[in-house]
Amino acid sequence: MTKLLQDRVAIITGSGRGLGRSHALELARHGAKVLVNDIGACQPGSPAEGVVKEIQAMGGEAFAHDADVTKPEQVEALVKQAVDKWGRIDILVNNAGILRDKSFAKMGLDDFRLVMDVHVMGAVHCTHAVWNIMRAQNYGRIVMTSSSSGLYGNFGQTNYGAANMALVGL
C-alpha cells in the first residue's frame, strides 16, 4: 500500500525536540524522507540524532543536519545535501524557534533581535533556499509553525509574539 507522502522529501527545522520532532515523525509515518534540522544535530547523542533513529526504526529514511537557520550559507548547504541525497525537496516546515522571555521594559534589543532572526529570518532563508527548486518541480509545500502569542500576546514575549505574527505575514 502506498503511503500518502511516499517518495516525498521533507526538511523540518528545529526538529530535534518538541513540535518539530512531532512534525518529523508524522511526515515519516506517512512515507516522507526527512531531513531533521537542529542546532547541534551532528553531535553524538543529540536529540536530532534520536529523531533520526526513531524514523529509521519505523522503516523510514532520515538524516540530521545542524545548519543554523540564521546563516543563509548554512541553509544553502542543508538544502544542497538534501537534493544531493534524495534529488528533490517537496516539503519545508519552518519550525525553528527560541525563547528569550522578559518584560519589554527589561528586554535588551539583542534578545529581541535574536528571536526575530531565528523565527522570521530563519524562515525567510529556508523558504528562499527551496523556492526555485519547488517551482522547477511544479510542486512544493511550505508550512510555518507559529503561536497564538502572535495574535493574542503573552506577558514577557513581545519579541516572540512579534516574530510569530511576522510569520503570518510571510
Give the sign of the dihedral formed by CA 151, CA 157, CA 158, CA 162.
Answer: negative
Is 160 catalytic? The answer is yes
Q: Annotated catalytic residue: which of 130, 160, 166, 167?
A: 160
Asked whether 115 and 99 are in contact (CB, 8 A), the reply is yes
118, HSE (Cβ side, Cα atoms, 13 Å)? 21
- How far apart CA 78 and CA 83 sit, in angstroms, is 9
Burial profile 139-163: b = 16 or more Cβ within 10 angstroms, e = fewer: ebebebbbbebbeeeeebbbbbbbb
Residue found by looking up cell 516546515 in the block: 93
Active site (catalytic) residues: 160
